[in-house]
Amino acid sequence: MLEGFLGAMMGYLLGSIPVGYLLVLWKKKIDIRTVGSGNIGATNVTRVLGKPWGIAVAIFDMAKGGVLVLLCKFFFGVDPLTLAVIGIASILGHDFPVWLHFRGGKGVSTTYGVIFALCPLAALVSGAVWYGTMRVTKYVSLASIISVCLAPMFMKLMGANQYYVYAGIIMAILVIIRHHKNIENLMKGKELKVKGRGQ
């Protein structure tokens, strides 16, 4: 019980590090939540600072979701249920960071970090779905929603622990909730597309 509580607290605090916000504040002296989509994640950082910085933020956000889970999994022998709780806590930290008055990001990169720590193959397949959907539709939000929502099914098919599958379902629900405005914009045809070749 205590192990789970401490792990969840550590996961939340690690996940709540707002690297996208801090990076844009440092580079541009502005609050990233006031520009673009208003999100602190990698996609909006890419809009403000460019692709290399957006990739850097995505990598860091994935790491803050997955590293603690991996350490607990392979070095401390933490049980699957506690690992799932720690992973979800890290996503909640990113989505609702105490340092930013609980106004955080949408948690996609952090979610992928957690999925990779719990079931690497499911994360890789989900990532392929994300990339394919994004390339075809040019909507990062749609690619994120579809790929994360399919992740629990991939985890189940690959024989992941049942608690990991349950965690995947919770993560998918969180991603849908955090993308509610994007879903509205998609339905209205107002969602921003990524710029690709020829655009």
Cα Rg, the chain, nearest whole Å: 16
Q: How far apart are CA 91 and CA 108, in angstroms?
A: 8
Please give the pLDDT value at position 198.
36
In this structure, what token pair is assigned to residue 37? 């989509």
Query: What angle separates helix 140-157 from helix 108-118, to the nearest 10 degrees?
Result: 20
In this structure, what token pair is assigned to residue 160? 């992941």
Q: How far apart are CA 55 and CA 36, in angstroms?
A: 17
| pLDDT tens, residue by residue, 11-56 | 999 999 999 999 999 999 999 999 988 889 998 999 899 999 999 9
Long-range contacts of 129-136 (CB under 8 A, 24+ apart): 134/194, 135/196
Cα separations in angstroms, 74 against 61, 113, 118: 21, 16, 11
Regions in the chain scoring below 70 on pLDDT: 196-199
∠ CA 107-194-35, nearest 5°, is: 65
Please give the pLDDT value at position 197.
42
| pLDDT tens, residue by residue, 180-191 | 999 999 999 999
**Half-sphere CA count of 35, side-chain side, radius 13 A:** 17
Q: Which amino acid is at 49?
A: L
Which residue matches tokens 């020829």? 198
Label residues 180-189 b or e (16+ Cβ within 10 Å = b). Answer: eebeebbeee
Q: How far apart are CA 147 and CA 126, in angstroms?
A: 5
